[in-house]
Copies of this chain bind each other. A is one copy, B any other.
């Protein structure tokens, strides 16, 4: 047994979705489709005093940092609590922006679940850890579908909402290059707590169309259509999409962030200077022991 462990969780951009609330957070979730990204979150967990952060926290909650800064992430605290690991120190690092539609909070929750399970020797299965993180994310109102998609990897299609045992996933078989530009945040909580009926109708239409032709071209096209139909398109994403289309490419908006994404080189061909990554074919993964060593 090791006193510390680390996990990598891919970022996840949702292109379109429908919201399916339920009293049981394991049953609640979303249908939709998106992209697991090779840009993701590394999460290291150490037991009690075994790991030193550079910061002192007196909040009584778990000691969590993201890119070196102390941060409160409700789903992470909930996951650690469920695993009887509330004294854990959690060190998360990511190149992805927070609140911009990349599933960073879901990744932190899922990575904390995998790493704490290993560091505390809790003997949970992968499905059990995914369910913990999914339920924590749903209850915090920070996301509905990122966790199950991040546990799968690839280009996940969320056929049925919910945690493993309830939800059901498929995927688009492809390995494209991904470009994205993030202009800022959109509040997931605000959108999800409002009237989601029009959004959900548009999301269901897009899902049905994608299932008929599960390709990356269709994913971008249907995601672009969804953002407009659901009235979620920001001005800056709208401008970027139009610029990309003027060059013969296609692009869409990340749900939910002021973020535009495209496959291949469609954003750079339109004059943008995007971040570049690839589809991450792997779901959340515990790092092998030699990689999970803390660099002190």
Contact = CB atoms under 8 A, between A and B. Distances in A.
Interface in A159-176: 164-165, 168, 170-176
Interface stretch (A17-25, A122-130, A236-244): A122-130
A124 B211 CA distance: 9
Interface stretch (A65-73, A94-102, A277-285): A277-285
B281 A283 contact: yes
A222 to B, nearest CB: 14
A126 B282 contact: no
Contacts of A173: 114, 117-118, 124-126, 129, 286
A154 interface: yes
Nearest to A153: B282
A125 B214 contact: yes
Number of copies: 2
A47 interface: no
Give the 9 A-B CB pairs with smallest separation, nearest first.
A126-B171, A282-B282, A125-B214, A175-B288, A281-B285, A127-B170, A125-B170, A281-B282, A126-B173
Given A125-B171, A126-B154, A176-B288, 19 more contacts: A118-B173, A118-B174, A123-B213, A123-B214, A124-B214, A125-B170, A125-B214, A126-B172, A126-B173, A127-B170, A129-B173, A153-B282, A175-B286, A175-B287, A175-B288, A175-B289, A278-B288, A281-B282, A282-B282
Interface of A: 114, 117-118, 123-127, 129, 153-154, 157, 164-165, 168, 170-177, 211, 213-215, 278, 281-283, 285-289
